[in-house]
Chains A and B, each alone.
Chain A
C-alpha cells in the first residue's frame, strides 16, 4: 500500500467530527463520504485522494459506536488510519467491515511523518517507509485474529472453524 498522508496533529479525534450526527441518516456511502471529517476539516473532501492515509495521535475514533465513521473515511479513499492509539469500537468497526486498516504506530512515525509525505505500508513486515523523507518506522503488528479477519476481508468472510 502506497499513498500520501493527511495529518491531524492532535489526540482524541472523535467519531462526531469524522462524521457528524446529522449524516447518520444517510445510507448512500458515496454521499456519506462527501461529509467525512466535516466536523474538523471542511476541506477534507476536496483534498483527499484514493489511496491516502490519515495520521493522528492518541485515542483516534473515540466516542460513538457509529460504523458510519470508518465507512465515510473508506469511501473517501482512505486505505488506512495510522494513530498512536485507537478507541476500541472504532478499531473493531474498521476491521469488521474491512473498511480500512487501523495501524498503531510509535512516536517516531508520528513525529517523522508530515502532511503530504508519501509513505508505503507493508503489513507482512510491519514496516512503514517514508518515501519522501527516506525513513523507516515499525508499526505495531496486528494480533493474530485481527490479522486473519483482515486477510479474510472482514468479519463475515472470516471462518474461525478453518483455523
Chain B
C-alpha cells in the first residue's frame, strides 16, 4: 500500500518536474513568431535574427535538459522507458471516450526528435544570420522560421493523433510560406503552391485514416489506440480486422491512409514531386525543413503508430515497398541531376525511403525491433549530415551565385572549411566508417537482411548509388576543373556561417557512437546492437566502389562522364527528366481530371446552376412586363377586377367547395 502510494507520488512528481518547463520549448519559438511578425518589420528589422536565435537557444537548452532528465535520470521504470504525459489539457469533448486533448507526450522518440529539431533549427538560425543578411524581409524570414519550429515541436510532442494533425497542417503552412519566401520569383510561387497542394492532397487521406482509427478504437489518444488495436482479443480489434472492404480489413485501410498522409509529407514515391521544387526556398530553409525535420514527419508518424502497424502485415509491406522504391528511384535520379540542391533533395528522398523500409521490415519488441531502432537512428544521424550538406551547399551557392554544377569546380582552395565539412558529410551519407551514417545504415541493412533478402539487395545497390552521386557532387563542386577567377573579396564567410558547419560536422562524426539501441527501441526496453565486422564488408565495399567510380569520373575534368551517359541513352535521358513523373501528373490533372471532371463541372455550374438563377430572373421579368398593363391607373378597372375576383370566389365557395 505504501509502496503503491509512493509509486503514485513518484510518477506524479516526474510529470511535475517536466511540466515546469516543457511548455517553453515549443512556446518560445511561437513567441519569436508572434513578436517578429507583429513588430518585426518596424522595430527589429536588423535585430530579428538575434532575438529569434536567442529564444531558440533557450528552447534548445531546455530540450537537451529534458533529454538528459528523461534518458538518464527518471525515464525508466523497471528498465523500460515509459511514456510520460508532461502536460495535459482537455480541449474538445465529444463523448466520454472521444475527446481531443492538447498535451505533451514524452517518450524516447519524441524526446529524441525534440533534440534533433531544436539543434538543427538553432544551427539554421545561426547560419541564416549570415546567409540572409541584408534581406529586405529579414524579420519575416525569422518569424516564419519560428512558426515552423513551433509547429514541428508541437507535432512531435502530440499526445493524440488529432493534435498531431493540427500541427501537421501548421507545418505544411509554414513550409508553404518559407518555400514561397522569394515570392517575386514565379518559380518559387509555383513551387510553394505545388508543395502545399500535394501534401494537402495526401493529408486528406491522413484525415480519413484518423477518423477510421478514431472510430474503431473509440479514442484519439495514441496510448489508447495502440492499446486497443494491438490487443488481438479486444472487441475493437476484432471489429476492425473482421470487416473487410475490397479484400483488405478496415484496419489495413486506415493504416494505409495514414501512411499515405505520411508519404505525402515525407516525399515518398509517387507523392515526391513537390520536394525537388521546394528547393526554390532559401537554402537554410531547405536544410531545416526539407532535409532534417518536416520531411521526416511521415517516418515519425509511422514510428508513433508503429505497434499498430506491427500487428498488420499488409500495411507493413506497403511501408516497406514504398520506402524501398522511393530510395532506389530517387538515388537513380540524383545521379543525373545538375542542380546541387536538387541532387540533395533527391538524396533526402532516398534516405527517407531508407528510414521507411527500415520500419517496414521491423517487428515489434526484442531483436525483431532492430529495424525500428535503425530507422530512428538513421533519422537522427541523417538530420545532422543532411542539414550540414544543405548548409554547405548554401555557402557554395552564396559564393558562386548559381545552383548549377557546371558553374562550379575547384572551389577547395577558396572555401577550405566548406570543403572539409562537405567531405565529412559525404563520407557519412555514403556510409564510410566510422562516421555516423555508417552505423545507422549498417543497422538498417542488417535489419532488412534478417527479414527479406530482396529488400537487402536493393538497399545495398542504393547504398552504392548514394556514395556515387554524393561524391560526384563533391568532386564537381570542389575539384574537377580549375576555379574560374572569382571576385573573392568577400571570402568564405563569417563566424555565423562557419560555426554551424563545424558544429554539425562534429555531430556528424560523433553521432554514430551514441549507443542508440539503449535509448530508442520499439518497446522501450534496451536493445543491444552489435557491430558485425563480416556483415559490414558488403556495404562498405559498395560505398567504396561508388566513391571510386565517382573519383575516376569526376575528379579531373574529362570526357568519360559524357560517354557513359551517352551509352545509357534513353535510360539516362528519362532519369535526367525525373522519369517523367511530373509530366504524368500534368497529363493526369490537365488532360484527364480537367477534361473529364473539371470541364463538366464548369459546364454544370455555368448552364445548370447559373442557368436556373438566370431563368428564374428572366421568367419574373417577362411575366411582370406582360401583366403590367393591368395596372392602368383607372379606379373602375380595379373595381372590376375586384368584383371579378369576388365573383370567382363566390362560385368556388357556393358550387365547388360547399
A, B bound? no
Residues of B within 8 A of A (CB): none
Residues of A within 8 A of B (CB): none
